[in-house]
Structure 1
Amino acid sequence: MNGDTDERLAAVDKALAEKQAELLEAGKDQSGIDEIGDAIISLREERQDILTEAAMNTELIEKLEDLTTFLDEQTEALTEYSEAMVRRLIARITVYEEKMTVEFKSGLEIDVDA
């Protein structure tokens, strides 16, 4: 995941550098300047989106590692309700007339028929 992010950022940074060079060469051509400026703004937004996505992926990986560690630390099988386990694993339970949706902190969702 990280390698892909680095490659995408490098490509956007390269395109930004090229557009900035074009901007310097545009001189007094206002329509060219406006077009290049719009492209630069678009590339900056794309770069920010990539960074945001990478941060979200990192956060998800950390949550999954935390949950894996917690489950590995459990030494015995669960035979009854455990408040600690529920609070640690489940983010939200949504109840509908025909089903329940259990959303785990890892982002996984499971529908359970009522």
Structure 2
Amino acid sequence: MTVWISTARAINKTLSGREQFLIQLQHNIEEVLNGDSTATLEYIDQRMAELQEKLVMCVNKNAEYDVIANEIDALREKKAAVVTKDAEQEMLKKRIEEMRQFLQTQSSRVTEYDEQMVRRLIEKITVFDNKLIFEFKSGMTLELKR
């Protein structure tokens, strides 16, 4: 069986189990949303402002300011990581929503390979001797025996 036929089978399997798949997508959305980082970013910004004030005071007094400067650098790195994570979460939410819309609007089984549909829905296909693993862009995986 070719990968293309199996791809159609994988998509059809998600369509036949649409309700369960939608429940799993909703669970994935909730997991992404639980990672809200607004409070974290607010804390980082507030702490950086405090430290920058202390840094200015230390410089004016010719005091040691390495510890404060190091903490500011660490907070900048943490903030960059949080912003990156937020962007990744937004992308995942978008992919999950696309998958949800597809599942709700697709009314019939897929009978032939559709390159555009595959590119829109499937992130990766891993081929083994006895099975194929489909990783959908929504984060869901599906394993089919060959």
Once the two structures are superposed, residues 8-64 of structure 1 have per-residue CA deviations (whole angstroms, 9 ceiling, x without a partner) of 1111111101111110121312xx311111100000111111111111111111111
Number of equivalences: 111
TM-score of the two chains, using structure 2 as the length reference? 0.65
> Which secondary structure does the structure 2 equivalent of 1:102 belong to?
strand
Out of 36, 40, 55, which is 1:23 matched to? 55
Identify the residue that residue 111 of structure 2 maps to in structure 1: 80
- 1:93 matched to 2:109: no
Gaps of at least 5 residues in structure 2 are 1-32
> Which structure 1 segments of 5+ residues have no match?
none
Determine whether 1:48 maps to 2:80: yes
Q: Distance in 2 between matches of 1:22 and 1:5?
A: 26
What is the 5 A alignment of 1:98-109? Answer: 98-109=130-141
Q: Select the structure with the greater relative contact order (CA < 8 A; seq sep ≥ 6).
A: 2
1:103 is displaced (CA, Å) by 1.1
Which letter maps to 1:74? Q
Q: How far is 1:3 from its partner?
A: 8.6
TM-score by length of 1: 0.81
RMSD: 2.2
* Inter-partner Cα distance in structure 1 for 2:57 and 2:75: 19
Q: Once the two structures are aligned, what percentage of the paired residues are identical?
A: 33
Return the alpha-carbon distance in structure 2 between the equivalents of residues 89 and 5 of structure 1: 28
In structure 1, how many angstroms separate the alpha carbons of the residues matched to 2:141 and 2:35? Answer: 28
Distance 1:60 1:79 in 2: 25
